[in-house]
């Protein structure tokens, strides 16, 4: 395929699964990470060296780091995958203003700025794909995850609105909304807590990062170009 895909949050469990799938499909990858360089290096060791054309480090909770990232994107970008995320567990009234600012920057302002920076070139080419990995809580809301639910809900709204604005220019904007996926983000749960969650899921299991990656693959395919402004649930019926 040879198209360039920027993966924001490539070092996470879902991000790296997406990178693995797209590498196998022949895409060229620009990989962003914050702290987990080891995961990126391991991926590069196990894949075609020509597949990764850029590795970008930035803490997207900091505005100056977001701006630095933008200056370091030197290759054309055909598609953007926003797979970065940070959970916050706790009662809303106990959340600090610093936490609020970090969650807003990472999940909302950074995607806004990155999309705005790259959108003009997509419009000129009359082609592009933008995909967000959001969350079931962005639609349903979750007690003790009010801030996370709020920012993921904002991502869903951004997807639906930008899709209408960008569609006339040949750009598709969609989101994938995972339910309970086996990732490090859920490692704070005890065995009993995980079992309680899975008992509520009709599929009777946690989802796999590869299942999210498969849906990204589907949305990037040219045959999916008429899908626009959708939030695709991957929840096992939860």
Could you tell me which of 6, 66, 3, 13 has the C-alpha nearest to residue 32?
6
Q: Looking at the predicted structure, is the pLDDT value of residue 1 above 50?
A: no
Q: Name the pairing type of β-strands 52-57 and 171-178.
A: unpaired
Choose the catalytic residue: 27, 89, 148, 226: 148
Give the predicted TM-score (pTM) of the model.
0.94
CA distance linking residue 211 with residue 234, whole number of Å? 8
Give CA separation, 57 vs 5, 73, 96, 176, in Å: 16, 11, 26, 24
Bridge partners of residue 56, in order along the sequence: 32
Query: CB neighbours (10 Å) of residue 26?
Result: 11
Question: Each residue of 122-135: pLDDT tens digit?
Answer: 999 999 999 999 99
pLDDT band at 72; cut points 50, 70, 90: very high
**Token couple for 159:** 């997807």
What domains, with CATH codes, occur in the chain? 4-234 (3.40.50.720)
Q: Catalytic annotation on 33?
A: no
Q: Is 53 helix (H, G, I), strand (E, B) or coil?
A: strand
215 near 234, Cβ under 8 Å?
yes
């Amino acid at each position: 395929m040879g198209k360039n895909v920027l993966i924001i949050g490539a070092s996470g469990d879902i991000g790296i699964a997406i990178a693995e799938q797209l590498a196998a499909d022949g895409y060229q990858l620009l990989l962003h990470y914050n702290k987990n360089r080891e995961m990126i290096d391991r991926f590069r060791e196990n894949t075609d060296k020509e597949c990764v054309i850029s590795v970008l480090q930035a803490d997207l909770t900091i505005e100056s780091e977001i701006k630095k990232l933008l200056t370091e994107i030197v290759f054309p970008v055909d598609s953007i995958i926003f797979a970065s995320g940070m959970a916050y567990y706790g009662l809303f009234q106990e959340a600090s203003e610093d936490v609020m600012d970090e969650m807003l920057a990472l999940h909302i302002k950074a995607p806004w700025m990155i999309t705005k920076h790259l959108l003009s070139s997509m419009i000129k080419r009359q082609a592009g794909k933008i995909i967000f990995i959001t969350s079931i809580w962005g639609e349903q809301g979750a007690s003790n995850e009010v801030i996370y639910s709020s920012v993921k809900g904002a991502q869903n709204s951004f997807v639906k609105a930008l899709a209408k604005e960008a569609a006339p220019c040949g750009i598709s904007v969609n989101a994938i909304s995972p339910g309970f996926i086996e990732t490090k983000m859920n490692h704070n749960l005890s065995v009993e807590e995980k079992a309680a969650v899975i008992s509520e899921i009709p599929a009777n299991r946690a989802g796999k990062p590869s299942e999210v990656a498969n849906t990204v693959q589907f949305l990037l395919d040219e045959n999916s170009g008429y899908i626009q402004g959708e939030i695709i649930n991957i929840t096992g019926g939860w």
